[in-house]
Amino acid sequence: MNKTLLALTVAALTLSAGSAMAQKKQLVVVVKGLDNPFFEAIHQGCEKWNKENATSPYNCFYTGPASTSDEAGEAQIVQDMLGKSDTVAMAISPSNAPLIANAIRAAKPKVPIMTIDADIKKEDASLRKTYLGTDNYLLGFRLGEYLKKAKPNGGMFCLIEGNAAADNILRRASGTRDSLSGKKGLDQLKGEGGWTEVSGCPVFTNDDGPRGVQAMSDILTANPKLDAIVIEGGWPLFGAPQPYRQLTDQYKAQIASKSLVIVAADTIGDEVSMAKEGRVEALVGQRPFEMGYKAPSVMISLIEGKKVDDPLFTGLDECTKATADTCIQK
């Protein structure tokens, strides 16, 4: 009898909690994909906000397609969530910037929209109120600065990118090219600043770690004298750490002598350990947890009609072998 009463009590409490959650206004965070550790860090920031604001009428609701390669799935989730009556604001990390812009237009939202981690294109900026996240141009520019420091005479290089239509990645690539060439707006380097992009680059990997490692392997095999690889996201390192270590084991001497230099974005998972091991020259990391934690407060300010700066940058963490123990913001 006691067990029955206990079960009934637990069920009632669960139902009550679910009902209370259902009554809350939803601050929706839509990311590119749930299979990426970077976005899980955003999720953890969102959940910390919920925990600290348990009595708030608002709830930070995290969602996205199962895979970062499902661009259409993300666009559909955006439209579906904007159709729900309890959605009162939305923060979106667009995998495909034009596709997400079209999804927003189709939904004709009456709630404030912001972007997080990745923005939409400048010509579509009026569709959202602000952008919260990394200064992606600066991230790419800093990667270029580290590469120039390691190889001041330039050389042959390849860019490894993620989704071909992701605005944040395209801005990073632009920053890297501007940094290396000393010029602005070049789509490909052909000797400017001493740097030349090899045939077949950039390579787009759809944020897939194993695919990124395979792309690096293929490029290195096809170009034995390659001087550098710039990875505009940390996918090969945090998404496929063991294959990445196996690949860099094959080039240990070249990496140590800086005849081959690898620089990469992010400081997720094993990445900082890899910098400490000398498997990457430098990392320029983002702060996804901070993005997820700050997004609900920004959305509430937008709901309340308060002035919100655009953009809202969350800063960078820069790591090398020498600084690996102290480079991450605490």
Per-residue pLDDT, 11: 46
Alpha-carbon dihedral sign for residues 200, 203, 205, 210 = positive
* Predicted pLDDT at 14: 42
Query: What is the predicted pLDDT for the residue at 22?
Result: 61
Closest CA to 283 of 220, 235, 214: 235
Give 181's DSSP letter. Answer: H
**Residue 121: is it exposed, middle or buried by C-beta count within 10 angstroms (0-12/13-18/19+)?**
middle
Helix ranges (DSSP H) in 25-89? 37-52, 71-82
The contacts found for 217-225 with CB under 8 angstroms, 24 or more apart, are: 217/247, 219/158, 220/251, 220/260, 222/198, 223/156, 223/158, 223/198, 225/156
Q: Are 219 and 203 in contact (CB under 8 A)?
A: yes
Angle in degrees, CA 315, 207, 39, rounded to 5: 50
5 to each of 10, 13, 14, how far by Cα in Å?
9, 12, 14
Half-sphere exposure of 30 toward its Cβ, with a 13 Å CA cutoff? 29
Measure the CA dihedral 265/267/271/273, to 10°. Answer: 140
The number of C-alpha atoms within 13 Å of 250 and in the hemisphere containing its C-beta is: 11
Q: What is the pLDDT of residues 243-280, one digit of tens each?
A: 999 999 999 999 999 999 999 999 999 999 999 999 99
Cβ burial of 201 (10 Å; 0-12, 13-18, 19+) is: buried
Cβ atoms < 10 Å from Cβ of 5: 9
Average pLDDT, 10 consecutive residues per value, the chain (330 residues): 47 47 89 96 98 98 97 98 98 98 97 98 97 98 98 98 96 98 97 98 96 98 98 97 98 98 97 98 98 98 98 98 92
Please report, for residues 152, 176, 194, 281, the alpha-carbon distance to residue 155 in angstroms, rounded to integers and kept in the order given: 9, 14, 6, 16
Q: What is the pLDDT, as a whole number, of residue 21?
A: 54
What is the per-residue pLDDT for 17? 46
Is 59 exposed, middle or buried (CB count within 10 Å of its CB: 0-12, 13-18, 19+)? Answer: buried
Q: DSSP strand E in 129-171: where? A: 131-133, 155-161
- The pLDDT assigned to 58 comes to 98
Integer Cα distance of 301 and 282 in angstroms: 37
pTM as predicted: 0.91
Q: Classify residue 193 by burial, with Cβ atoms within 10 Å: 0-12, 13-18, 19+.
A: middle
Mean pLDDT for all residues in the chain: 94
Per-residue pLDDT, 329: 83
